[in-house]
Amino acid sequence: MSNSPLSISARYFDGRSTQEYAVSLSIENGCVKLRGDGILRDEALTALEISERTRYGSRRISFAEGAYVEAFDRTAFDQLLAAAAIGESQVVRWQQSWSLTLAALVLTIFTLTVGYIWGLPWFAKGVVVVLPDTTQHSIGHTALQSLEGDFFEESKLPHTRQEDLRNRFNAAVQRSLGDQAPAYTLIFKKSKIGPNAFALPGGFIVMTDELVKLAKEDNAILGVLAHELGHVQHQHSLRNLVSASVVGVVAFMIWGDASSFVASIPTVLLQTRYSREFETEADTFALDFLRRAQIPPAAMAHMFRALQKSSGENAIPELLRTHPATEERIRRFESPDP
């Protein structure tokens, strides 16, 4: 006994008018066949599009020119596809299962988290390597300009004092690093955020008048500058900015608004916490720098303590951002490894 091919009832629309035609729908030898109501149509399956299975609603087979056939008996439609050995795509199956949807969501979040923690720093490190010096310089310069006014004004330190500190630091850099030193520009500013020092992309190191005044001895200032030069050497500021930009782009793709992020770039540069890893790297650089320049590192420890005391009334200075580890960091400078 030969099986007559399975056929189900469906409605055909020509795609040009709202007229519907009752048809029988069958699939044979890779061909969709429609019969009835003045309709006789055979089309190769490969030229057609079968709509995804949804929990509710009809199933539809669309023809290239816009006509389609619709079946409301979803079970019969599934049997028809099964008999013709047409599998649902994996994606369609996934969409139907809540547990799998949840699993996909968890996997997405997991991927984003792993990407954020490990992928992003890795990506940022790669990007800054290929970013031209001139670009880095203009990013830093632009940031510096937009911070002016809100956060800083012209330094009130006597010019001779500025020159003296600059010369001493330049000399220490020469002694410690010679021509291996990264390019840097030392800038003094009177600050509205208290004693602070930080490094911007392009090698700009900003030191506030308030920090200079807080230091009991100039060696402490040199220690702070050495720490900031460590951030310059490892391009920490730029790497943070690249990471924050990626987060901004992802946020834009999800929420469709980048304006608030773009507006916040200067503040990102000023206030983003360096990771503890970055701080440790900058401290290690500073310790090595001070040792080579024959400056006792203990001065830096005194500076940390003074900053700790003064940060009560001010924003937490860049140097103390990784707060829980401050004691441990101070100890490194008090008794550095031989």
Amino acid sitting at position 195: P
Q: Which stretch binds Zn ion (CB under 5 A): 81-89, 147-155, 272-280, 293-301?
A: 272-280
Token pair for 8: 């189900």
Least CB distance to Zn ion at residue 325 (A): 12
- 45 or 325, CB closer to Zn ion? 325
Least CB distance to Zn ion at residue 226 (A): 11
Binding mask 83-102 for Zn ion (x = CB under 5 A): --------------------
Q: Does 205 bind Zn ion (CB under 5 A)?
A: no
Binding-site member from 23, 80, 229, 282 for Zn ion (CB under 5 A): 282
- 25 or 282, CB closer to Zn ion? 282
How far is the first Cα of the chain from the last one, in angstroms, to the nearest whole number? 94
21 and 98 Cβ atoms separated by less than 8 Å: no
For residue 36, what are the contacts with CB-CB under 8 A and spacing of at least 6?
21, 22, 23, 24
- 176 or 233, CB closer to Zn ion? 233
Token pair for 240: 């943070």
Least CB distance to Zn ion at residue 231 (A): 6
Q: In what order do the strands lie in the sheet with 204-208?
A: 152-154, 185-191, 204-208, 197-200
Q: Does 27 bind Zn ion (CB under 5 A)?
A: no
β-pairing, 185-191 vs 204-208, is parallel
Least CB distance to Zn ion at residue 111 (A): 31
Least CB distance to Zn ion at residue 207 (A): 13
Q: Does 295 bind Zn ion (CB under 5 A)?
A: no
- 144 or 320, CB closer to Zn ion? 320
Least CB distance to Zn ion at residue 228 (A): 7
Q: Which of residues 54-83 bind Zn ion (CB under 5 A)?
A: none
Angle formed at CA 239 by CA 310 and CA 236, multiple of 5 degrees: 40
Q: Which stretch binds Zn ion (CB under 5 A): 18-26, 74-82, 280-288, 304-312?
A: 280-288
Q: Does 177 bind Zn ion (CB under 5 A)?
A: no
SS3 state of residue 18: coil
User: What secondary structure, in 3-state letters, does 211-231 show?
Assistant: HHHHCCCHHHHHHHHHHHHHH
Residue showing tokens 């399975």: 6
- 13 or 285, CB closer to Zn ion? 285
Give the C-alpha separation, 37 to 24, whole Å.
10
Q: Comparing C-alpha atoms, which of 8, 268, 296, 299 is closest to residue 142?
A: 268
Q: Which stretch binds Zn ion (CB under 5 A): 18-26, 140-148, 279-287, 323-331?
A: 279-287
Angle formed at CA 324 by CA 323 and CA 326, multiple of 5 degrees: 65
> In the complex, which residues of this chain contact Zn ion (CB under 5 A)?
279, 282
